[in-house]
Each structure stands twice: as structure tokens, then as C-alpha cells.
Structure 1
Amino acid sequence: MNTRARAAQILEQVLPLNRQNLQLRSLSDLMPKVAEEDKDKGLLQEICFGVCRWYIRLDKLAAPLIRQPFKPKDADLHALLLIGLYQMFYLRIPDHAAISQTVEACRQLNKDWAVKVINGMLRRAQRDKALLETSLPDSSSIQTAHPKWLMDAVTAAWPEQANAIFKANNEPGPMCLRVNCLHNSRDDYMARLKERGIGARIGQLAASALYLEKPCDVDELPGFREGWVSVQDEAAQLSAFLLDPQPGERILDTCAAPGGKTCHLLEQQPALAEVVALDMDGQRLQRVQENLDRLHLNANLVHASLEQYAQDHPQSRFDRILLDAPCSATGVIRRHPDIKWLRKRSDIGKLADTQQHLLQIAFSLLKPGGTLLYATCSILPQENSRVVHQFLQHQRHAKAQTIAAEWGIGHDCGRQLFPTINGHDGFYYCAIKQKPVQHDDTQAQ
């Protein structure tokens, strides 16, 4: 099966394609297994990510070409049409090759009857390319390829930054490395990369971050299998520095998979008494173990939700807790463009309720005087500062700490980073301190 046919099979499970009430799946769920079977993994990823990135715009380009709507059972053909258009409008693949390979994919999908239909649509697109583009509706949602509800939410929250955010969301994120300071300094590792002919530049926020000029296979990185380096966005790397673990402390990572932040905490402070890493997904927890093994690190992995762990260990207390809460992931759309279409407006309130619940449980496991770092890869205040504000209003022993930094936008509850072209993802952090219990409080209880 050729790459376009495989891409169509993936995208019909990821994109709405004018169908209603579907349970859509994510690219990160579908891509790894299919990519293993495809000879041209790079092109498969480019097509799947690109079509998701520009879906609403491609669908409007396709509209004048479609004389009869695709039936739900032919969603793969709808996806195939968008794949053809993506190659013709966004890639440097010659039109004749894009059309030929896309039409061949019809046959490989066992839909020979559609060969003439898809061929005719793509030939017309080739002929009328300029007209199709100029005929697009003058809509910000279509021009930037974002759902209207998301554009409205981001613009309302961040009117000055919104356009830059939408632009960054449509640019693939760079490959960022986290240098393991237990093995090499960042400068030393950068020199090793240079010896291999791999160009890189240092990150401006995290002392462990290096950006590659071009993405590469991890096996090309010096010492990757030996644990010298990991792949992790620079904004995510800030969590270990902000939590600032000290020797002899107990640390809890509440939603640990796939383990990047857990491992970074251990790299930053190898003399910790214990790191407990929780995740309710057993398969994803195995990823944490694989990362620990590669980096020659140790943590206590627990297959459980935070709520279950708190019930099973009511007396357990930690010096520092990382709560990287489940969120809309609106700060990492450039790396997961399907988020645009998987998320709905109604999801945000439900996520905020979950985040509030998790924050309350995590705080109950904190020692007096301890620090909890609340983090999300969202750029929506409803999941970030508003969650923390609400929590602080009802928890008198909690106090938000000022994050002394120049990056992002700071306010009384943490700091917000936005996705940037050739830079970091969007992230939110807030450090919350548990006040020591005062004698008067004890008497009142």
C-alpha cells in the first residue's frame, strides 16, 4: 500500500470530514504502528500532520470540486482528495506526481470506481489553482485554519498575542534536546554535535536546552542510547528548574508518562530520597520505565490515578509535587495539529473541573512548607490562572509563589508561555507553597 493510501486510512479516523458525532482518534495513537509499516515514514508524517494542520482551509479549497458529497463510508476518499490538494498547494511535489500517486491510492483502497472521480477533481484543481485560492472565504478561521471557537477563546484571552499564536501553531515545532547534566555540560554536548556535523543553538530559557537546526533520527545523536540526551521541548524542561528539588527530598510526579519530567528531576538532583511517578495508563507507564532505563535512573513507578494513590497512601507526604495536569494541549498544537479538530469548546470546562479536583488532591499530599508546581501545556486561562485562583480562594494554607523570571507573561498566579516559531511550546506554570500550620490554626481545629 502506498503512502497516500496509508495516510487516508489514518486521516479518516482523525478528521470529522463532514461527519457528525464521531469518536475521533489522535495522530499520536495511530501514527506509530502505521509508520513502522511504511517505507517513507517522513512523507507519511508530513502528509498526515500537514492535512490536519490545514484541514479547514483544504476542505474549503475542495468544496467547489465536489459535485456530490462523499458518503460516510467513503470518508477515506474525502481524506484522499485533501491529501492530493495538500501536496499540490503546500509541498514541492510536482503536480503530476502528486496526482498520479493519489489516484493510485484509490486502487489500493479497493475503490477503483473512484479513480476517475479523484483524478478529475485533482486535474481541475491543477488547472484552477489560483482561482480556488482567491475564491476562499475571507474568514480568519479559514485563513489560519483554526476552529472559530478556539480563535475566539484565544483572542479574548490574549488579544495582543493571538495572531502570533495562530501563526506559530501552523509551523512545525523544532527538535529540542535536553542535555543530561550528569554526563555532559550543554557546551560539551554541543561540541559533540558539531563533530557529527549536526548544527544546534542553545535555548534561552532552560539551561539544559539545545535546538537542532534540522530534525534528525535520535540514533544519530551522540550518546542517545547511553542516556546523554533526551528529546524534550524547552518549555517543558522548565518544570525541573522551577520545582528545584533538593537532596534528601521526596518528590511526587502525579501524571508522569511518558517520563520526560520525571527523568529531568532525577538528572537535576540525583541525591533525592525518592521519586514516586504515577500514571493511570499502564502502557504509558512502561514508556516511563524505558526512559528511566535508557538514562540509568531509578524511580518508584505506581500504576494508579492520583485519586487512587491518595486513597491507598493517606499518610504519604512529599516535599515537592509536580502536577502536570491533563489539559486541552492548546499550547502544543504545532506538534499535535489534530488537537484543533479533536477538542471542542465544551471540553474546556470539563477539563478545568478535573484540574481543580487533581489540584486539591495533590495539595493534600504536600508536607507543610512544601511546594507544588501546577503545570499545563494549555494557553487558555480557564485551565490555568483561573483554576489556581479558585483553588487559592478555598485553601487558606496555600499561597502562590512569585516565579522570578523574564520569560512569558507573569501575573499573581504563575507565568504563561506562548508557542513561538522556531522556539518553545505554549506552557503555564504556577508554584504553590503550603504554609506551615500555625499554632493558632491548630487550636482552632
Structure 2
Amino acid sequence: MRMHRNLVIAVWDGLDQIFNEGTYADKAVEQLLRRDKRWGSRDRGFIAETIYEMVRYRRLYAEIAEVAAPFKRQDLQRMFAVWAVLRGHPLPDWKEFNQTPERRIKGRFDALQGTRAIRESVPDWLDTLGSESLGSEKWELELKALNEQAEVVLRVNRLKTTPGQVRESLSGEGFETDAVPGYPDALKLRERANVFRSQAFQSGWFEIQDASSQLVGPLLGAEPGMRVIDACAGAGGKSLHLAALMQNKGQLLAMDIHSNKLRELKKRARRAGAFNIETRPIESSKTFKRLAGSADRVLIDAPCTGLGVLRRNPDAKWKLRPEFIPEVVATQQQLLQDCSRLLKPGGKLVYATCSILPQENQQQVARFLESEAGQGFGLEKELPVSAHESGFDGFYIALLGKQG
């Protein structure tokens, strides 16, 4: 593979933004890809995939290059050289790569393979937490799976079309897809590509949504004519799925503390033709109190550590801090306590996270059921999804029913 200087410089610039300035990886990549309109799909793919790979293995590459944060420009160049050598890419004859010790790089790589936190490239505290929470063997399997590149999965919008029509339309534009067994609305791209420019996307025929995330809506059992509350709707991925499952009939109340995310949801809903969604910002605890006992179904897609989605957000493991764990656990439990009161007798609630930690998942549900607010509720189904077993994101989904 011949490396072009302007593309490699873009990679260095992106890593500087992510590692030193705290820019989210997806935002940094999105901005970089607009730098030069002459770049083709292969050029853009090189920039994006190289940046994500280096973010994914930041600790390993830094250890081999013998550099530490904050990273100077020369440090990033040394880390890039490590990446290239380990991937088998010939280094260009540039001054930045003069006297790159290729044999030493390979030797240090081999020597570091016995230390899991370095090999899989996570902070020591996170490696300890994961091992203690899941057991060393399962944590190791999950880490390996979460360091793989995420596949691009689409969710077909059945308000407008069918999986067969989407496959045919995308194929006509050069995007080949496959069905995903066990996920009726899912299609998987055979090769990574910018499907957002397709006519099918512009027409609202599909959304990007990982297969694990597509399990949440069906488990809730939302039906046409019901009143459903999505209490942590964000930009609306699961709200849009619920609207389709409800066939646009009934009321779907999408709530969030971030008004900007709800504005994005409105745009997506218009494109998808989802007309039964009403957005409502959560301004205080009174917002929930006014809705007490009014919902047939409630979804809590709770804020979490996001450890189940590291494949698509690899920079999250470097932004996460130990003190955040007890904070988010407290928030999750408060949401269960508050949102459980929204249900009518006989209603059902789904609690979901994109985390693989029991303290955010099974332990939260058990704690809720033992609390005063949880009296009269029962656990009807529990669905922990591991990345290494499913091949998709790590997730947790629990269905709770309220006595009639």
C-alpha cells in the first residue's frame, strides 16, 4: 500500500485532536473527511480506519513507541510507524520515518502480549474492574471482541418499505447487503461504505442501528394504539423503531434532558415518516410526575459507561474515569425509580444499557425489585448480550411487568 503524505498528515492531525484536545473520534474524523473534496472513498477509508485503529490500540502503540501523553507531533509519528510496521505496510521514505527500528517494534510487540491491559489497550483500572465484574476469562473474550471493527448494520423502516426493497435499491447503487438471521429488520453491509448518500437513506427507508440495539423495541411489546414513553430518547434510534412497531398508531412520547438531541429526533422522524412521535424535554422531576400512571409501555435506555459499544466508540475507554461508575449507577437507579411510576397497572417496562457490567445491569434490576418502588413489579425476561458471542454490540435488556 503506497501512502500519500496528505492522507498521513490528516491521520496525525486527527490523532492530535482526539488524544490531546479531547475531541470525540467520530467528530474528528467527520471534520477531517471534509478537508479535501478530491479524496475518493479509498482515501477517506484509509484516514477513518487508520485513526480508529490507532485510537483502539493507543496504549499498545504508545508502549511500543516508548511515548506518553500528552503526545507531541513526533510521538504521534512514532506511533504511526508502529502501526504501519505491525500491519505490514512499508513505510515511505520520509524523514519522519528515518531509522525506524522495525525489528525492535516487532520484538516489543511480542514481549507485551502477556500483559492483557496493554495487549488489549485499556487503562489498568478498567481492566481490573472488568475482570472483577465478569471474571477474567469472559472479560478477556469481551475485550478482544470489542477491539474488532464494528460491522455496519441497517434497520429497515417498515413504515415505508421492506428489507427486500431496501436490498434491491441499495444494490442498484453499488451497496451490497445481507440479511441477519434472528433480526427481522436488519441488513448488514458486506463492505463499509457511505450509505448516507444513497437514495434509500434520503427517502427514509432505513437507519443505522446495531443488531443488538434492534432487540430492545420488540421486547417492549409496544402495539398500535398504545401510549408509550421513551424516557431517555436521545436522538431517537429506538423511538423510530418503536414508531414502526406501533405502525404509527397511538402515542409515542420521546423524552430527554438534551433538547438538541430531541431536535435531531424530529428531523429523523420526518424523514422516516414517523408521525406518532411527540418530543418533550425533561425539565425537572415534575415532568415525570405529571405523567404518572399514564403509560402502557415505558422504555429506559439508560445512560451508561458504554463499554458494550467500544467497537464503534473506542475513544470512550480513554475518556471514562473510575469516579463515573458510581455516578452513572446512581442515575440509572433513580431513572428506574422515577420511570416505573409512569406505568399503568398491567403495563410493562424495558430497562436497557449498552454496557456489559453487572453493576449497571442485573444488579440494578435486582436492587429496583427489592425497593419500595419495585413492589408489584416482576422480571419477565432478561437478555444479556455479549459482544464475543453475538458478534454485535454488548447490551443488556430486561423486561419488567407491573401487576394489574
Normalised to the residue count of structure 1, the TM-score between the two structures is 0.80
Write the mapping of 1:283-298 to structure 2, written as runs, cut at 5 A: 283-298=260-275
SS of aligned partner of 1:371: strand
Match of 2:383 in 1: 415
Unaligned runs of 5+ in 1: 17-22, 104-117, 404-413, 437-445
**Bigger CA drift: 320-329 or 249-258?**
249-258
Tell me: CA distance 1:89–1:422, structure 2 relative to 1, closer, same or farther (3 Å): farther
- Provide the secondary structure at the position in 1 that maps to 2:154: strand
Question: Within the alignment, does 1:86 sit opposite 2:83 as a pair?
Answer: yes
Contact 2:223-2:246 at 8 Å conserved across structures: yes
Alignment match, 1:125: 101
The AA in structure 2 aligned to 1:142 is I
Amino acid at match of 2:380: T
Alignment partners' CA distance in 2, 1:379 and 1:194? 35
Instruction: Flag structure 2 segments of 5+ consecutive residues without an equivalent.
Output: none
SS in 1 for 2:400: strand
**Distance (whole Å) between structure 1 residues aligned to residue 72 and residue 280 of structure 2:** 41
Give 1:388 deviation, angstroms. 1.0
SS at match of 1:369: strand
Quote the Cα distance in structure 2 between the aligned partners of 1:308 and 1:6.
Answer: 48
Q: Give the Cα–Cα distance (whole angstroms) in 1 for the partners of residues 77 and 175 of structure 2.
A: 36
Equivalent pair of 2:15/2:76 in contact (CA under 8 Å): yes
Q: Deviations over 1:201-235 (max 9, x none)?
A: 22233211111111221146452211111111011
Determine if the alignment matches structure 1 residue 15 to structure 2 residue 13: no
CA contact (8 A) 2:159 2:274 kept: no
1:430 aligns with 2:398: yes
* Alignment partners' CA distance in 2, 1:192 and 1:41: 24
Please state how far the C-alpha of 1:371 moved relative to its aligned partner: 1.1
Distance 1:215 1:306 in 2: 42
Of 140, 144, 153, the match for 2:116: 140
SS for the counterpart of 2:266 is helix
- Percent identity over paired residues: 27
Distance 1:415 1:216 in 2: 31
Contact 2:228 2:296 in 1 (8 A): yes
Alpha-carbon distance, 1:199 to partner = 3.2
What's the counterpart of residue 351 of structure 2?
374
CA distance in structure 1 between the aligned counterparts of 2:259 and 2:107, rounded to whole angstroms: 51
Alignment of 1:17-96 (within 5 A): 24-38=22-36, 39=39, 40-63=43-66, 72=70, 75-90=72-87, 93-96=89-92
Matched residue, 1:114:
none
* Match status 1:152 vs 2:128: yes
Instruction: Give the superposition deviation at 1:43.
Output: 2.5
Matched, 1:205 2:182: yes
Please, which moves more after superposition, 346-355 or 420-429?
420-429
Alignment of 1:313-324 (within 5 A): 313=290, 315=292, 317-324=294-301
Aligned CA distance change for structure 1 residues 131 and 182 (closer, same or farther; 3 Å): same
Q: What amino acid is the match of 1:132?
A: R
The number of equivalent residue pairs is: 392
Judge which range, 214-223 or 349-358, deviates more. 214-223
Cα distance between partner residues in 1 of 2:390 and 2:82: 26
- More moved, 261-270 vs 7-16: 7-16
Whether contact under 8 Å (1:57, 1:143) holds in the other structure is yes
Which SS does the other structure have where 1:46 is aligned? helix
Q: Structure 1: how far apart are the matches of 2:256 and 2:34?
A: 26
Moved over 6 A (4+): none
CA displacement at 1:402 relative to structure 2: 2.7
Superposed CA RMSD in Å reads 2.7
Secondary structure of the structure 2 residue equivalent to 1:323: strand
